[in-house]
Structures are given as structure tokens and as C-alpha cells.
Structure 1
Amino acid sequence: MAKARKIPLRKSVVSGEIIDKRDLLRIVKNKEGQVFIDPTGKANGRGAYIKLDNDEASQAKKRRVFDRSFSMEVSEEFYDELIAYVDHKIKRRELGLE
């Protein structure tokens, strides 16, 4: 009998839910202090996850959760970019492109 594969789980910094890693978006702060979206999930640096959901992205901006997660001030432009990226990814999934 085949052994069941483990499903990697991560906690969303916005809702606190523990979710399958594939349903989350990874945000990274690297050694240079740059904060960026990591679509591959493999970039070096400290990672924080949020669910691919418009409400979560809006809450992240409103509560400035990445400022707290990365112990630094994250720009307003980054949060706007995050909301646009999440919206784009959701639309691609609805069209069946991902």
C-alpha cells in the first residue's frame, strides 16, 4: 500500500488560517531589505503567506500586516501591487489558465 504524501501547510498572516501551501501567495523580504511577491515560492529570504483572495489582500493593506511580519515599513505601492496581482491570479484561475 502506498504511503500518503504530506501536504505542506502554511499559516496566512492575515486570517491566521492554516491552508495548503499551493493556495497561498508568498511574500518575501530578502537580505537587502527588498519586499516582493514570490510566485515560485522558492526565493531566498523571510517569507510570509496570504490566501489568494481579494478580501485578504485588502485586509493586508488596511492592517499593514507585512510591516509587522518583516519588522519594517512596507510601501503603500507594494500593497497596491499585491492587490492587483491577487486580482490577476484569481481571474486566471477562473479562466482555467492555472
Structure 2
Amino acid sequence: MKLKKIPMRKDIVSGEMVPKKDLVRVVKTPTGEVQLDPTNRANGRGAYIQIDVETAKTAKQKRTFDRAFGVHLEDAFYDELIAYVDHQQGRRELFGNEQ
């Protein structure tokens, strides 16, 4: 039986290549707005971060998405990112990694 290829993306905080299903996509839309992209289908330039609260906190501390997208983001964006990652991490602990 032929093995399926697992799509890999780079986590911009750690620089590691990680399976796409273990990442959250953040996108800068053509209008310049930066937002979370839970569907992985929004138009614009995307960057990925692992579903890990410590990684999200590191991104806030280092202002990673400010540098990646060349804009200044408010702390509220990073707080929303941390909350979303925490929620997704909790779901994975409860239901497993079957998304």
C-alpha cells in the first residue's frame, strides 16, 4: 500500500518543520488585516505557529507576527492567539489528534 504524503509547514517561532494539522495559520489579508485562519483557506499571506501555549506566549514576547508581516499588532491579537491555541490544545488532549 502506498503511504500518504504528510503536508509539512514551518513554525515561524521555532523554525521547525511540523505536520500542517499540528499548526494554526495566521494570515495577513490583502487589505492589511492580520487575523487567525482556522479554516486554512483565507486569502492572503499566511504564517504558521504550533498548537502549543508556550510557543504562542513566546510569539507574543518576541512579537513574531509583527516582524513576519511588517505591521504593528496590538497585544489583544496575541492574547486572542494564546486563547485559541489553549482551546485547541485542550481539545486535542480530550479528543485526540483526529481533526
State the TM bucket, normalised to the shorter chain: over 0.9
TM-score, normalisation: structure 1: 0.93
The equivalent residue for 2:36 is 37
| Residues 16-73 of structure 1 deviation map (CA, whole Å, 9 limit, x = unaligned) | 0000001000000001111111111111100000000011000000000001110111
Distance 1:87 1:4 in 2: 32
The equivalent residue for 2:26 is 27
Query: Aligned Cα RMSD in Å?
Result: 1.3
The 3-state SS of whatever aligns with 1:95 is helix
TM-score, normalisation: structure 2: 0.92
Residue identity over aligned pairs, in percent, reads 55
Which stretches in structure 1 are left out of the alignment for 5+ residues? none
Which stretches in structure 2 are left out of the alignment for 5+ residues? none
Q: Which runs of 4+ in 1 moved over 4 A?
A: none
The 3-state SS of whatever aligns with 1:25 is strand
The equivalent residue for 1:84 is 83
Letter matched to residue 73 of structure 1: H
Moved more, 34-43 or 3-12: 3-12
